[in-house]
Amino acid sequence: MGDRGESAAEHWEAPFGTDQIHVAFALFASNEIALDTAREAAKQAYHEIGGISVQYHMDVGMMPDGRTHLGFRDGISNPYIDGSPFPPAFGHEGPVKSGEFLFGYPNESGQIMEGPSPAPLGHNGSYLSLRKLHICAAAYRRYVQEKATASLSAERIGAKMVGRWPSGTPLALSPEEDDTRLSEDESRINVFSYADDPKGFKCPISAHVRRAFPRDSLQDQVVDVNIHRLLRRSTVYGPALTKGVLEDDGHDRGIIFAGICTSLIRQYEFIKTEWLNGGNFVGLSTEQDPVTGNKDGEHTFTIPAKPLRHRLKEVPEFSITRGGEYFFIPSLTALRWLAEQAGQGPSDL
Ligand code: HEM
């Protein structure tokens, strides 16, 4: 996964990467009061069960403006699952077969993906790649300011790296400036193509979002992008770095990346190793994704421009892996089945 140097597994926070984690339990709530109520119920169940102990706990949650610590809005683009009654909140590409995200259904290749056996356990479940990624917010701010010129502002460099402006406006639709009319329009913010921009003059081919999901960019290659899609449910942790501050304040802050799919190898790992960590698929040699890479690549970031491209050098690491685990997410029916196996009634689930 490119976890080298400070990101290497031997530096991960315990108990990540050890054999101590067996189950992850996530509590979601829309406000603190609802969270407290859910937490109390969970604590009670925890005390009643016995035989398990909490190894690690994280308080996470999106910032009120939906932005991550680099200042960009996240959580906009997600695949639309074919047949789902819940289309994503924002406009989307064509539907992706449900078998890419749920066991027991045909995937994009017409195969039925099987989850863990026996069938009642695997059916309707998914796999989850969870990663704790520390974000180097001060290093990022310093870098974009240092590299800024009269024609290439710090904000523009950041937008070129991500492929969206801080508001979420895609560069593919508004390459020159952030346009909040676009970012506030749910039907437009995620409906775009790279077909009219093969060289990346609007959105660099090395930008994070273009690498992570190249949409229609790779049409001259035999690549079916829909077999490499991820359902993302990421969130952030840690306090925001105070506006304008350029020095690290010592707080741990970052993103809890959550990628859901039925094939960790073909979906999560492929995106990370081939598209984010590599450059060959778009003729960029060993240049890496500027947001998640630069551990052992060229440490450059190319911004196509006329008459001359900009090639930013010595791009530091803006994210450091603090831990990661793969999980199986059972469905509600699988949880009922498990409870029945344990001799308990399914009524509480
Ligand atoms: C340092 C950690 C990361 C940060 C700060 C970050 C940030 C972002 C942001 C701001 C967006 C644009 C919002 C959106 O389209 O929803 C985005 C999109 C995306 N990211 Fe990341 N990301 C990170 C790590 C990753 C990793 C590790 C992966 C996959 C292995 C990934 C996959 C994606 C995908 C698939 C998209 C959607 C692209 C699209 O559909 O157009 N990201 N990310």
The pLDDT of 81-87, averaged and rounded, is: 88
Say what percent of the chain tops pLDDT 70. Answer: 98
**What is the average pLDDT value for the chain, to the nearest integer?**
93
Structure confidence at residue 258 (pLDDT): 97
The rounded Å distance from CA 208 to ligand 1 centre is 7
Q: How far apart are CA 277 and CA 135, in angstroms?
A: 17
- Closest residue to atom 9 of ligand 1, CA basis: 74
Ligand 1 centroid to Cα of residue 269, in Å, is 14
Q: How far apart are CA 74 and CA 215, in angstroms?
A: 18
Dist CA 83 CA 87 (whole Å): 9
How would residue 348 be classed by pLDDT, with cut points 50, 70 and 90? low
Separation of alpha carbons 57 and 59, rounded Å: 7
Q: What is the mean pLDDT of residues 49-65?
A: 89
* pLDDT tens digits, one per residue of 11-30: 999 999 999 999 999 999 98
Nearest ligand 1 atom to the CA of 255 is: 2
Ligand 1 atom 40 nearest Cα: 77
Stated as kind and residue range, the H or E segment containing 139 is: helix 137-147
Provide the pLDDT confidence category of residue 66 given band limits of 50, 70 and 90: confident
Domain residue spans of the chain:
60-348
Residue 345 has pLDDT above 60, yes or no: no
Please state whether beta strands 235-237 and 254-261 pair in parallel, antiparallel, or not at all (unpaired): antiparallel
User: Which amino acids bring their CB within 6 angstroms of ligand 1?
Assistant: 68, 70, 72, 74-77, 133, 135, 162, 164, 208-209, 212-213, 230, 232, 255, 257, 259, 268, 271-272, 276, 291-292, 319
pLDDT tens per residue across span 107-164: 999 999 889 999 999 999 999 999 999 999 999 999 999 999 999 999 999 999 999 9
SS3 content of the chain, % helix, strand, coil (to 5): 25, 15, 60
Q: What is the DSSP letter of 284?
A: -
